[in-house]
Amino acid sequence: MPAIQIYIDADGCAVKDETYKVAARYKLKTFVVANKYLKVPLDPLVEMTVVSGNFDAADDWIAEHVTDFDVVITSDILLAERCVKKGARVLGPKGDEFTEDNIGSAVANRELMQNLRHMGEMRGGPAPMDAKARSQFLGKLDQIIQSLKRKG
């Protein structure tokens, strides 16, 4: 069975600490991918990967390395779509999993919201993280890892 790995799209990720805790419990290799160095736990299973180049360099690195035994943590819908197409399990920071069944509507909704913001019809972004969202994230991440372990 291939080893399950976790990839964190780390720029602006609100659930890095929660992910580290779950990954440590399962002893999973975790790649923290960002455009600049971020402080990560001193753990041989946690690897900070700094990418340089274009705006989507972190997304490109993750999409290039991810497999169908991996978990990707991201709020980036377009990265989620790329990873779902490769068979990876993709989880948003509020505990919503992106799947083949829902990624199309998530991409369409993203484009709609972007157009509304561009036209000045909408301001602001998503609601801030709260304890309920963090709890939902932790539960779903645990469920995904258990499912991948059974798959292997």
pLDDT digits (tens, 9 = 90+) for 40-90: 999 999 999 999 878 789 999 999 999 999 999 998 999 999 999 999 999
Reported confidence tier of residue 103, pLDDT bands at 50, 70, 90: confident
Reported confidence tier of residue 4, pLDDT bands at 50, 70, 90: very high
pLDDT of the residue at 2: 74
Reported confidence tier of residue 98, pLDDT bands at 50, 70, 90: very high
Residue 122 pLDDT > 70: no
Residue 70, classified by CB atoms within 10 Å of its CB into exposed (0-12), middle (13-18) or buried (19+), is buried
pLDDT of the residue at 96: 92
Q: Do residues 20 and 45 lie in contact, with contact meaning Cβ atoms separated by under 8 Å? A: no
CATH for 5-151 (1.10.3470, 3.40.50, 1.10.287, 3.40.1350): 3.40.50
pLDDT of the residue at 112: 65
